[in-house]
Amino acid sequence: MRSTTRALALILIAGLQGCQSSEEQSAVDLTIPVSTAKVTTGSIASTILATGTLRAAREERIVSEVAGRLQLAAHQGRKIRNGMRVHKGMLLATLENEEYRLTVRADARKLEMENAQRELEKQEALFKEGGVTEKELEIARSTALDTRLNYESALLKLEKLRLTSPISGTLTLLQSAADGTLVPAGFQLATVSDNRSVLLDLHLPNSDMSRIRTGQRVTVSTYAIEEKTFAGEVVAIDPSINPQTRTFTTQIRIANPEGLLRS
């Protein structure tokens, strides 16, 4: 007997819904190559009925760290909106909080840094001529460094008044807050979803657990896009069995470079 490969096809059935939420049920065909010992070569397909949900493999929330009056950003003449593509670092909104800005004292920190730098340059020139000691020069260097770090810290604090996208992706779950709305610290403006890779969470019958393993390569096709297949991999298997449904949960990561699969 020799080892051959056959194809195990699992037809995963679920209702296809709209994409307003962060998860959506999808109907897909899942093909999993498996190895088996068999006298003759061939291809065998079996069918498993299961339900699953599709979601972006990576999602990031846009949350304010300080309170302030919200001002949504505009790009190409239009305010940010649900469904728009955003890139990493893109400005989504600003917060107006004059009290916080005054507390940070960025302008004063900048002036202190500039004065310390001028003093350092003066001390360096005097040291070359023997006018100051090495200890006095080191004190000037330390002061220049401290004031520069204080200024950089102030700039970082001011950045909290700017809400930017931490990743590239699609803007979703945008709050319908008007410009000028006072929002608290911890306010969630929106979510950014990167759909270049999606996760498919499946509920498979207990009897199929022996046929699924972590790391398996799979090919997925959806009834909504019949002419297209997607490469995937089993990334997680929950071995616990739901006592009511007698199913276990399997998670598959699917490559989605063109963004055709919606989460």
**Same domain flag for 105 and 184:** no
Residue 261 included in any domain: no
Looking at the 3D structure of the chain, how many domains does it have?
A: 3
32 or 225, higher pLDDT: 225
Q: Are 213 and 179 in contact (CB under 8 A)?
A: no
**Same domain flag for 37 and 11:** yes
**Same domain flag for 35 and 8:** yes
204 or 119, higher pLDDT: 119
Residue 37 included in any domain: yes
**Same domain flag for 105 and 151:** yes
CATH number at residue 115: 1.10.287
Q: How confident is the model at residue 31, as a pLDDT?
A: 56
Residue 263 included in any domain: no
Residue 244 included in any domain: yes
Q: How confident is the model at residue 6, as a pLDDT?
A: 36
Question: What confidence tier does 220 reach under pLDDT thresholds 50, 70, 90?
Answer: confident
Residue 262 included in any domain: no
Residue 260 included in any domain: no
Tell whether the torsion through CA atoms of 171, 175, 181 and 183 is positive or negative: negative
Q: What does the pLDDT average to over 188-211?
A: 89
**Same domain flag for 187 and 67:** yes
Q: Which residues pair with 120 in a beta bridge?
A: none
pLDDT of 38-79, one tens digit each? 444 454 544 555 667 888 999 999 999 999 999 999 999 999
Q: Which residues pair with 198 in a beta bridge?
A: 56, 254
**Same domain flag for 34 and 11:** yes
pLDDT of 235-263, one tens digit each? 999 989 989 988 899 999 999 888 888 76
Q: How confident is the model at residue 11, as a pLDDT?
A: 39
In one-letter notation, the amino acid at residue 3 is S
If you ran DSSP here, which 8-state letter would residue 133 be given? -
Which domain does 110 fall in, by range? 101-159
Which of 109, 139, 159 is the last residue in one of the domains?
159
- Helical pair 134-159 and 106-128, crossing angle rounded to 10 deg: 160
**Same domain flag for 67 and 185:** yes
Question: Exposure string (b/e) for 215-252, b if CB count within 10 Å is 16 or more?
Answer: ebebbbbbeeeeeeebebebeebeeeeeeeeebbbbbb
* 190, pLDDT greater than 70: yes
CATH number at residue 223: 2.40.30.170
**Same domain flag for 81 and 188:** yes
**Same domain flag for 187 and 198:** no
**Same domain flag for 183 and 66:** yes
CA distances from 230 to 87, 217, 225 (A): 24, 11, 10
* 194, pLDDT greater than 90: yes
**Same domain flag for 89 and 168:** yes
Residue 51 included in any domain: yes
pLDDT of 112-158, one tens digit each? 999 999 999 999 999 998 888 999 999 999 999 999 999 999 999 99
CATH number at residue 85: 2.40.50.100
Q: How confident is the model at residue 54, as a pLDDT?
A: 87
Residue 174 included in any domain: yes
Q: How confident is the model at residue 30, as a pLDDT?
A: 59
**Same domain flag for 188 and 66:** yes
Which of 111, 144, 159 is the last residue in one of the domains?
159
Total-model pTM: 0.70
* 81, pLDDT greater than 80: yes
